[in-house]
Amino acid sequence: MQKIFAKTFEYFLDLIFPIHCLGCGKNREELAARERWICPDCFLKIMPRGEQVCPKCKEASEGGRTHSFCRGDNFLDGLWAAVYYDEFFERAVHDFKFKFIKEISYPLSELMVRSILETQEFGEFQDIVLVNYAKDEEEGIYSDEQKNVKAETILIPVPLHPKRYAMRGFNQSFLLAKNIGEKFALPVREDILSRTKNTKPQSKTSNKEERYKNIESAFLCRKPDEVKGINIIVVDDICTTSATLNECAKELKRCGAKNVWGWVVARK
């Protein structure tokens, strides 16, 4: 009954506010709503990011790994961005978060998936992402012999403060992580990391120093025993200074996580 109501509501909503592709502006009525915000033609024109950079200094780094000389107060082991940041993705993420268009999570997360599967550079990040991924859809997941046995990998979306969640009605990072997790057979854990400070949006801060100060000590690991010795990928939409991801990594590393990587749609 709920599914019927949802489809009916979507139908009438589409009549009043038809969906137009953010790229070409076309209304592809023959497609499902989640496929129309970035239509298949525009989706195929988007090229995955060809070069990854260190989350700290933003200089080229193999697979996005943090340079050894950039460690210091940086707790991220690395950062993977699916695409290059431009006006198109600024608009897409803005509509996703602030116009409450949940369906945009689908094409954005598909771009994140595509960036892994189509990369020419196979490194540590792909290793932990593909730990449970099937080589062939007909084979199912890897057997124990085929699987990377270094450590378990889980996805953790950057959490929202309860007040922000109540206002928005969803966590955009969770929607991205959910779609990615289904594709790569990785568990998504919302219950491990929580935001304890209702900080102002990072986009409202004026510089790098203010971003780091704004997010300082904003996260708490609720289940430290469940992160010890495992690989964690923290999922978010956009990365500017990596302050938010780094603060998440700091708390997770404090509780014994083996590796903590960030994974975003794009980085500025």
Residues 9, 92, single domain; the answer is no
- Closest CA relative to residue 154, chosen from 237, 234, 77: 234
Residues 17, 73, single domain; the answer is no
pLDDT at residue 134, rounded to an integer:
59
- Closest CA relative to residue 82, chosen from 57, 106, 47, 34: 47
What is the spatial distance between Cα 197 and Cα 160, in angstroms, rounded to a whole number? 9
Residue 79's domain spans which residues?
Answer: 50-267
What is the spatial distance between Cα 148 and Cα 258, in angstroms, rounded to a whole number? 15
Asked whether the predicted pLDDT for residue 196 surpasses 50, the reply is yes
Residues 37, 73, single domain; the answer is no
pLDDT at residue 206, rounded to an integer:
67
Say how many C-beta atoms besides its own lie within 10 A of residue 243's C-beta.
21
Find how far residue 128's CA is from the centre of its chain.
15
What is the spatial distance between Cα 73 and Cα 250, in angstroms, rounded to a whole number? 9
Residues 120, 204, single domain; the answer is yes
Say how many C-beta atoms besides its own lie within 10 A of residue 70's C-beta.
17
Residues 30, 58, single domain; the answer is no
**94-126 pLDDT, tens digit each:** 888 877 788 999 999 999 999 998 886 678 899
- Closest CA relative to residue 263, chosen from 236, 242, 240, 231: 236
Please give the DSSP secondary-structure letter assigned to residue 59: -
Q: Is 28 exposed, middle or buried (0-12, 13-18, 19+ CB in 10 A)?
A: middle
What is the spatial distance between Cα 243 and Cα 234, in angstroms, rounded to a whole number? 12
Average pLDDT, the chain: 85
Asked whether the predicted pLDDT for residue 171 surpasses 50, the reply is yes
**44-95 pLDDT, tens digit each:** 999 999 899 999 999 999 999 999 999 998 999 999 999 999 988 888 888 8
Residues 102, 32, single domain; the answer is no
Q: Give the containing element (helix H, strand E) for 82.
A: strand 78-84
Residues 9, 115, single domain; the answer is no
Residues 117, 247, single domain; the answer is yes
Residues 29, 132, single domain; the answer is no
265, 112 contact by CB (below 8 A):
yes
Percent of all residues in the chain with a pLDDT value above 70, rounded to a whole number: 84
Those residues with Cβ within 8 angstroms of residue 133's Cβ, 6 or more apart along the chain or in another chain: 141, 142, 183, 184, 185
Residues 125, 226, single domain; the answer is yes
Residues 164, 241, single domain; the answer is yes
CATH number for the domain that contains residue 262? 3.40.50
Domain boundary among 45, 60, 75: 45
228, 154 contact by CB (below 8 A):
no
Torsion over CA: 108, 113, 119, 125 (sign): positive
Residues 258, 139, single domain; the answer is yes
Asked whether the predicted pLDDT for residue 149 surpasses 70, the reply is no
Percent of all residues in the chain with a pLDDT value above 90, rounded to a whole number: 53
Q: How many residues in the chain?
A: 268
Mean pLDDT on 224-232: 95
